[in-house]
Structure 1
Amino acid sequence: MSLRSRLPSRVVATYYAYQATLSFGFFAPVFTIFLLARDLSYTEIALLSTESAILTVVGEVPSGYLGDRLGRRASLFVSTTAMTLSIAGFVVAESFPAFVLLYGLWALARVFRSGTGDAWLYETLRDRLDDEGRFTAVRGRGRAVNLGVTVLATLAGGALYTVQPALPFAVSAGLHALGVPILLSFPKTAAFNDGRDATVSIRATARVVREQLTAPGTQTVVGVAAVFFAYTNTVNSYVQPTVRDIVGLPVSFLGPLYAGFTFVSAVAGYYTGAVDARVGSRRTVFITAPLVILGVGLVTLFPLLAIPAFLAYKGAETLLRSVTAGFLNDRVTDAGRATTLSAASMTYALARLPLLVAAGAFADRRGPQPVFGAVAAVCLLTIALLWLATRRVTADT
């Protein structure tokens, strides 16, 4: 096999380059500590996360519909620009109201990318390479590229923070800005070149989304994934203070630690396609989600499990993001692809809303460590109820 045949196609390589610019690695190891140093409480941090979740719920489907109507590149351009401005704003933000504005801009960036990026990749693989079956593998490897950059960035993040707390955000904003010219080189998908998607009505798109997300098999996969992502998103704010205050690692070690987290995630992303092909999407979600939630929840009782448990959840999150995206892409048409993927992201955001503020208030009273077990108990019970409901529906049919 020649070297040329082993290299990715030009369009896939461009996608990988774009993914490299989306890394949050420079500030990820110190993000919560940075907010605490700005005199925010756990409750205020949880309120910011809740704001982001609410805006995601409100904005996901409209942004996905715009992605289906106006084009994938236009939506991704809005996303990349908004994210760059949001990260740059952290350099100068000092007050809670300022962070409220920045989190709003951050949410805008996320909703314009969540469904549209996957829709662009799936359709481009089909139209340009006649190989949409590679979606899960290419998406997973793109995530691995992103995480590879993140490994290097996290190693520098802690050191940059000790020099000047806002420096990691300044460097990260510059990296995100590099994504704009790469994005503009993306090809349009065939649907937008020939104008097919421009004729799709809101009612027709809504019907597609409803039919796809309420199908019995799809509904259960999305539900379990939503609970898992709600758990990881909620407890993520308490990883850094737990590692620093309970495990006893100094801030300067957070960079190497997060590099380890990211390396595990990169490996998981790289092998996502192989796992999906061998195990299957449904089984991967149904096995991984409860086991990882249980493992992280045990950190409350056994603090020494913290680092291996956090490694497991970082890798599992990367794995399930790509698996669920591929699962949904295989079951939806172009007309509502971005809208359906955005609706799934909206479901994930809805699932975490009840947990965020409650977890923040709980952490202010009891500390960060008990949060892992308390939220795990709620999420495992919810997954059990979903499983029972699925069995009942199956029995009735």
Structure 2
Amino acid sequence: MKTLRYKRNVPLFFVYQWIGMFMLDRAIWMLFLVSKGLTLGQIALLETLFHAVNFVAEVPTGMIADRFGKRTSLLAAQAVGIASAVWLIAASDFYGLTAAFMLGSLVHTLQSGAASALFYETLKGQGKQSAFAKLNSRLASIALVSMGVSGMAGGALADLNWAYVYAGKALLHFICLFVIWLMEEPAILPDQEEDLETNEEERRANGFERLPLTGQIRGIVSFIGRNKTFAVLSVFGAVLYAMSWSIGFYSQVIFQQIGLDNGIIGLINGAETWFSAAVAAIAYLGERLLGRRGTIWISALGFMLCLALFGYQGDAIGAVSFFFLMALFISGLEPLLETYLHELVPSPMRATMLSVFSMMISACMMVTFLVIGMLADRMSLSASLQTILNVWLPLMAGITAIAARSAHRHWCRKSVQ
């Protein structure tokens, strides 16, 4: 009976994805901080502290989700999100803004592993986990369209009053809380597929969610030690996404420096997310043609090439064009890489291990975002980016080669079994 009841999770999750990703300040939060008088160095420090909280809280909140329920974790995230939005309205100095952003970081950690894990376990409970890649691509598409619309809406609201942006965020968190309340927590079921390696991991992870903190940490370390493919793909995604997200944020300032106003910047980000949504929706079709190894190579190399060209652009047309092309490669990879990681993780520790991946992204963001911002205070933002790329591009190429080879070997071995 419970299985039938939590079937409604799927349509509710699509609603949650739309509302939860309607982030009014996504395309303009750096401009909000600039309007408050913060320098790029201060903004870089604030963003680094944001990701430091992510880094520290990711695994504990993932453990909370595995022990007390993914739904409980998502409900808590919305309550904290309301508090963060209200605080941002009231804050007027660096310390107040930093504290409000720290609360926003907790929202991210409470949702990061729990949301995807709840959706995957819902499908698994219905015997439909094989449809996850396709449905996750659709969810990614919905999220990107929502962010696109919200980017334009946020830009328009910001031109009126910044308080409207964050009052709207508080309202959206409240609506999300109600949607999540209607969901059911799916039962954790053993994996039924005839895969000896996966079933062995399921047996090892049995009871993981009931272990004390020290026991869970040992379980995480043990899992990563046994599953090198998970570790390598996580590092690959973390280094790539950290640069992609940093560029996405700093592009707000770059576009402003070349003469675009808040409304136009919001429109560009909105159009970029719609474009990304179309790519994400059909990403699984591209994977059928390229395979997993080809998907990893094409996504990473395409992004690296466009990023290098973006870093040397001085005009609006060139900068916007390569900004869109970078989004093409990243948005096509995101739902697929998430699927690969899900397939590698046993159910009892799913939210925790996805939080480990998010923690890796936060660690990379702390370095990438901070270094770009600090260098930008001493030279131009474009010069800062060009300097960073001299180190990042060869590093990313090496990581991509290792990740593609590891993924190919792992799934070839599974196909033989």
2:243 paired residue number: 231
**For structure 1, which segment, 274-283 or 130-139, has the greater mean C-alpha deviation from structure 2 after superposition?**
274-283
Question: Cα distance, 1:107 vs. partner?
Answer: 1.2
Q: Within the alignment, does 1:180 sit opposite 2:193 as a pair?
A: no
CA-to-aligned-CA distance 1:289-321 (integer Å, 9 cap, x gap): 232133123223223421122123334333333
Counting only pairs closer than 5 Å after superposition, residues 97-112 of structure 1 correspond to structure 2 as 97-112=95-110
8 A contact 1:235–1:371 mirrored in 2: no
1:369 paired residue number: 382
1:5 paired residue number: none
8 A contact 1:300–1:371 mirrored in 2: no
SS in 2 for 1:263: helix
Q: Given the superposition, is the C-alpha separation of residues 306 and 131 from structure 1 closer, same or farther in structure 2, using an over 3 Å criterion?
A: same
**For structure 1, which segment, 237-246 or 61-70, has the greater mean C-alpha deviation from structure 2 after superposition?**
237-246
In 2, the alpha carbon distance for the partners of 1:173 and 1:236 equals: 24
8 A contact 1:231–1:375 mirrored in 2: no
Q: What code does the residue aligned with 2:369 have?
A: L
Counting only pairs closer than 5 Å after superposition, residues 54-203 of structure 1 correspond to structure 2 as 54-127=52-125, 129-191=126-188, 199-200=210-211, 202=213
SS in 1 for 2:157: helix
CA-to-aligned-CA distance 1:179-212 (integer Å, 9 cap, x gap): 00100111111129xx966534556644553354
SS in 1 for 2:21: coil
1:260 paired residue number: 271
Question: Cα distance, 1:89 vs. partner?
Answer: 2.2
1:303 paired residue number: 314
1:6 paired residue number: none
1:291 paired residue number: 302
Q: What code does the residue aligned with 2:381 have?
A: P
8 A contact 2:209–2:216 mirrored in 1: no
CA-to-aligned-CA distance 1:84-106 (integer Å, 9 cap, x gap): 32123222221100111112111
SS in 1 for 2:345: coil
Q: What code does the residue aligned with 2:25 have?
A: F
Q: 1:326 aligns with which of 333, 339, 343?
A: 339
Question: Cα distance, 1:239 vs. partner?
Answer: 0.5
8 A contact 2:236–2:403 mirrored in 1: no
SS in 2 for 1:365: coil
Q: Given the superposition, is the C-alpha separation of residues 151 and 230 from structure 1 closer, same or farther in structure 2, using an over 3 Å criterion?
A: closer
In 1, the alpha carbon distance for the partners of 2:59 and 2:335 equals: 20
**For structure 1, which segment, 87-96 or 215-224, has the greater mean C-alpha deviation from structure 2 after superposition?**
215-224
TM-score (norm 1): 0.88
In 1, the alpha carbon distance for the partners of 2:370 and 2:105 equals: 17
8 A contact 2:27–2:249 mirrored in 1: no
Q: What code does the residue aligned with 1:185 have?
A: L
Provide structure 1 residue ranges, at least 5 long, that are not aligned to the other structure. Answer: 1-8
Q: Percent identity?
A: 23
Q: Given the superposition, is the C-alpha separation of residues 231 and 121 from structure 1 closer, same or farther in structure 2, using an over 3 Å criterion?
A: same
TM-score (norm 2): 0.84
Question: Cα distance, 1:390 vs. partner?
Answer: 6.9
Q: What code does the residue aligned with 1:85 have?
A: A
In 2, the alpha carbon distance for the partners of 1:27 and 1:352 equals: 19
Q: What code does the residue aligned with 1:136 have?
A: A
Q: What code does the residue aligned with 1:343 have?
A: V
Q: Within the alignment, does 1:357 sit opposite 2:370 as a pair?
A: yes
Q: What code does the residue aligned with 1:307 have?
A: V
Q: What code does the residue aligned with 1:178 have?
A: I
Q: Given the superposition, is the C-alpha separation of residues 92 and 150 from structure 1 closer, same or farther in structure 2, using an over 3 Å criterion?
A: same
Q: Given the superposition, is the C-alpha separation of residues 311 and 67 from structure 1 closer, same or farther in structure 2, using an over 3 Å criterion?
A: same
8 A contact 2:272–2:327 mirrored in 1: yes
Counting only pairs closer than 5 Å after superposition, residues 237-252 of structure 1 correspond to structure 2 as 237-246=249-258, 248-252=259-263
In 1, the alpha carbon distance for the partners of 2:150 and 2:402 equals: 44
Q: Within the alignment, does 1:384 sit opposite 2:381 as a pair?
A: no
SS in 1 for 2:344: coil
CA-to-aligned-CA distance 1:360-389 (integer Å, 9 cap, x gap): 111112222233333333221212343566
In 2, the alpha carbon distance for the partners of 1:87 and 1:297 equals: 36
**For structure 1, which segment, 21-30 or 202-211, has the greater mean C-alpha deviation from structure 2 after superposition?**
202-211
In 2, the alpha carbon distance for the partners of 1:184 and 1:107 equals: 22
* RMSD over aligned Cα atoms: 2.6
Provide structure 2 residue ranges, at least 5 long, that are not aligned to the other structure. Answer: 1-6, 190-205, 410-417
8 A contact 2:62–2:352 mirrored in 1: yes
How many residues end up aligned between the 2 structures? 383
Q: Given the superposition, is the C-alpha separation of residues 70 and 299 from structure 1 closer, same or farther in structure 2, using an over 3 Å criterion?
A: same
In 1, the alpha carbon distance for the partners of 2:262 and 2:54 equals: 31
Question: Cα distance, 1:328 vs. partner?
Answer: 1.0
